[in-house]
Amino acid sequence: MSAESRRIQRISAHAGPVPGTGTVREEKVAKLIDVTTCIGCRACEIACQEWNDLPFADTVFQNNHQTMPDTSWNLWTLIKMNEVEHEDGTLQWLLRKQGCMHCADPGCLAACPAEGAIVQYENGIVDFDHDKCIGCQYCTIGCPFNVPKFNPATKKVFKCSLCSDRVENGLEPACIKSCPTGCLQFGAKEEMLHVAHKRAEQLRDHFGYENAGVYDPPGVGGTGVIYVLHDVTRPEQYGGLPKDPRVPATIGLWKSPLKWLGNLAMVGGLVGMIAHFFLFGPKTDPGDEESHGTEKPDD
């Protein structure tokens, strides 16, 4: 994949045509996560941190093999592990890699008020430009998957970039490279969908998973990360994968016909903040003193 693949398709908070939009459309890319062949080895978690130079955290035992309750600003991907007991007494240990879904209609991007802080490349990757991030955390509200995570020390929001830097240079994302079983695959979205549907069919026909299917939710226009699930009718059991994710309606409203109202509200908020400052003095962050090292996760 060439540098062309980073050609920008959409950017946050920008009215009018996207600067640099070309006529060449690179094919959409996708990461396929076949949950049925994930062994929860967590190599992807570490590979992601190492490639992206994210610090390791001091963690505590959480009564499970998952250890970290959720992704965080320095942990962009995490295997969610859930013990699910079915009515017939059988047990499943569901292992699902959680991370940014790279939505075709990204709620984070829609919600972002900082111009160019969130970009969507023509290959579908949704990326954050931290130089432009203002730390408002609106993206965390816009995301239906609860993915972007705020680092209180740097006042920036972070998430998986699908290794856009590696992809630009013709490499697969770091998580894909580290996966020992091939549960993670990467390629053109169309091709990944083909592989995923074939696998789901195999799971239905040969392994008794009647509801096996592909998770590529239409509510966000489809995603650049797709799952094969043993039971696509119950995505929630895989550690809270939403059944029908949608960008919050308020974000849509705010961004289009009612944007002027939002701007007005923002100005109102600003007025309120100034008033608050004069009435009660500056707001202090209780975490400020400890978090200067930026080595701690936000949870």
Interface residues toward another protein, by CB under 8 A: 36-43, 45-46, 49-50, 56-65, 67-68, 83, 85, 91-95, 180-183, 199, 202, 206-207
In the complex with another protein, the residue whose CB is nearer, 95 or 220, is 95
Q: How far is the CB of 82 from another protein (least distance, A)?
A: 11
**CA–CA distance, 158 with 117 (Å, rounded to integer):** 11
At position 52, the amino acid (one-letter code) is N
Q: Which one, 65 or 130, has the nearer CB to another protein?
A: 65
* CB of 180 vs another protein, minimal distance in Å: 5
At 251, which amino acid appears? I
Indicate the pairing of strand 225-229 with strand 29-34.
parallel
- Nearer CB in complex with another protein: 26/45: 45
Token pair for residue 138? 């609106």
Closest listed residue to residue 140, CA positions, set 251, 4, 295? 251
Q: Is 157 in a helix, a strand, or coil?
A: strand
Q: Which is nearer to another protein, 56 or 277 (CB)?
A: 56
Distance of closest approach, residue 183 Cβ to another protein, in angstroms: 8
Instruction: Give residue 248's identity as a one-letter amino acid code.
Output: P
For CA atoms 131, 134, 137, 143, the dihedral sign is: negative
CB of 206 to another protein, least distance (A): 4
- Contacts of residue 102, defined as CB under 8 A and 6 or more positions apart, other chains included, come to 30, 31, 124, 125, 126, 160, 162, 223, 224, 225
β-pair partners for 229 = 213
Report the distance separating Cα 238 and Cα 84, nearest Å.
9
Closest CB to another protein among residues 65, 276: 65
Give whichever of 55 and 269 is closer to another protein, judged by the CB atom. Answer: 55
Least CB distance to another protein at residue 71 (A)? 13
Rounded to the nearest whole angstrom, what is the least distance from the CB of residue 116 to another protein in the complex? 33
Task: Tell which residue, 150, 172, 153, has the closest CA to residue 162.
Answer: 172
Backbone angles phi, psi at 85, to 5 degrees: -100, 125
CB of 261 to another protein, least distance (A): 44
**Of 133 and 175, CB closest to another protein:** 175
